[in-house]
Amino acid sequence: MKKFILCKLCLVILIVLAAAKPAQAGKISWQIDTNNNARLSGITKNPAEMSFDGLTVYQFEIEHGACGGDQYWSDCESDRQRVELKDGYKVSLQSFGSNPKKIKKFYRTNLLLPAESEFPNTLPMTQMIHQVKLHQKNNPIWMVHHHEERLRITADNGEKCFVDQKYIPRNRWLEIEIHADYTVDGKVDDTEPSFSYLIDGQIVCQLLSPLVTTRALRDGNRKQLQLKFGIYNTFPSKWLLSQPENQQWVRANKIEFSGYQQDSKGESNGAVRSAMASPFDYDWPVKLPVQVLYYTDWFVGNSRDELGPSRFRLRKSAEVEISESPPDLTVDFSVTTREVCVRALPEWKRGGGAWSKHAEARGLSVEGCELFKKLKR
């Protein structure tokens, strides 16, 4: 596998943003994630076969068994593998003080999904491609998966969107833009989403509920956000066990596995389970295919203007998939009455929907919800 091996002593990669881009977007100090496996994964900076608009290009490549670990976590013992870059804690995107104010961040990068021969669909294993986390918190604040040729965008608050395949063609550079409101327990408003995801200037996903809650801050260790991007595979065991040849091998050898259960650490969500903790301890007849993905520089600012001019005109899609169904209330996602009302009121006006039914099940009405919307937090 062609790759650039990154030495362990050189974990920090300093990125000098292209001179043609706005200086006010700032510089980001990237680190290689300590769970990367340098022997079986690689990050190539400006690969010879790929370039884009004078920006730094990163090629991420990962193959079967590319798991690692550090003092906090082991992918090898948690049914995962990854090759990622993350922003350094000393220059984290945002810290939360005792009196947090309104916090908004704007991101822009370019993403290229190669042909399926290079970046195959590996369901039921999931492929996360970018995320923002609170340090030492299980569940990301928001995360984006490549999922059945679509993008699945999920927030810690339980909301999610699916972005249709037509917006994410392969073998073409896509401009990705993200607008995120990290205000703690931020205002929920019909006209002011907490999260917007744009592809080539078009809004393809919006979420309404606050991204960061007081409970989420309690779950995390440091009150700092961290951007990560690359390829992060969760539950390789599911894909391995779905292959007929591997199934026959397991039966022939009468292999029994011990199930994996992630430690919830007392958090409200983020604990998951699978058939085994360490799938790479076994010599599978059919192994995971190699996966390759490309990104350019990331630009991060406090406003969209700080990102510089987009290549595309900003426009809202008539097909934006705002989450239609209430979160699974068997898990406490801290869905407030006011949040339910914000989503239910438009549905009542249209004649009903999942959120309005959920509101009615709580004993709410149009009049009661109008009142809740006016109340301060």
Write the CATH number for 293.
2.60.120.200
pLDDT for the residue numbered 332: 28
- CA atoms within 13 A of residue 331's CA, in its CB half-sphere: 16
Reported confidence tier of residue 216, pLDDT bands at 50, 70, 90: confident
Pair 155, 217 in one domain? yes
Kindly give the pairing relationship between strand 202-207 and strand 195-199: antiparallel
Tell whether 1 is covered by a domain.
no
Question: In which domain, by residue range, is 144 found?
Answer: 12-316
Closest by CA to 169, choosing from 144, 149, 197, 152, is 149
Same domain? 131 vs 29: yes
- What percent of the chain is modeled with pLDDT above 70? 79
The closest alpha carbon to 89, from 37, 26, 134, 130, belongs to 134
**Looking at the domain assignment, is residue 324 inside a domain?**
no
Euclidean distance between CA atoms 321 and 204, whole angstroms: 7
For residue 300, being part of any structural domain is answered with yes
Cβ pair 154, 143 in contact under 8 A: yes
Residue 76 has, within 13 A of its CA and on its CB side, a CA count of 15
Q: What is the pLDDT of residues 139-171, one digit of tens each?
A: 999 999 998 899 999 999 888 999 999 999 999
Higher-confidence position of 319 and 213: 213
Q: Are residues 363 and 214 in the same domain?
A: no
* Res 191: pLDDT: 60
Measure the CA–CA gap between 158 and 237, rounded to whole angstroms. 25
- pLDDT recorded at residue 187: 62
Q: What is the mean pLDDT of residues 227-254?
A: 97
- Domain assignment present for 180: yes
pLDDT digits (tens, 9 = 90+) for 26-73: 557 789 998 999 999 999 999 999 999 999 999 999 999 999 998 888
d(CA 204, CA 216): 26
Q: Which of 254-263, 268-277, 299-308 has the lowest mean pLDDT?
A: 268-277
Among candidate residues 297, 318, 289, 310, the one with its CA nearest the CA of residue 164:
318
CA distance 330 to 370: 26
Give me the pLDDT at residue 138, please.
Answer: 86
Polymer length in residues for the chain: 377
Residues 307 and 343 in one domain: no
Q: Are residues 232 and 102 in the same domain?
A: yes
Which backbone phi and psi does 346 adopt, to 5 degrees?
A: -60, -35
* Tokens 């309690």 found at: 218
Q: Count CA atoms closer than 13 A to 177's CA, side-chain side.
A: 25
pLDDT at 340: 74
Give the whole-angstrom CA distance, residue 134 versus residue 92: 10
Of 71 and 235, the structure prediction assigns the larger pLDDT to 235
**Do 238 and 358 share a structural domain?**
no
Give the pLDDT confidence score for residue 333 in this predicted structure. Answer: 30
**Residues 242 and 353 both lie in one domain:** no
Residues whose CB falls within 8 Å of the CB of residue 251, separated by 6 or more in sequence, listed in order: none
Domain match, 99 and 234 both: yes
In Å, how far from its chain's centre is CA 353?
Answer: 28
Find out whether 147 and 126 touch, Cβ atoms under 8 Å. Answer: yes
Is 23 in the same domain as 163?
A: yes
Asked if 344 and 238 sit in the same domain, the reply is no
Instruction: Give mean pLDDT, residues 236-243.
Output: 97
Q: Are both 355 and 280 inside the same structural domain?
A: no
Is the Cβ–Cβ distance between 163 and 205 less than 8 Å?
yes
Instruction: Compute the CA torsion angle 325, 331, 332, 335 (nearest 10 deg).
Output: 0
- The DSSP symbol for 301 reads E
Q: Tell me, yes or no, whether 191 and 260 share the same domain.
A: yes
The secondary structure of residue 317, as a DSSP letter, is -
Say how many domains are in the chain. 2
Higher pLDDT, 362 or 160: 160
Average pLDDT, the chain: 82
Of the candidates 316, 270, 322, the one whose C-alpha atom is nearest the C-alpha of residue 162 is 322
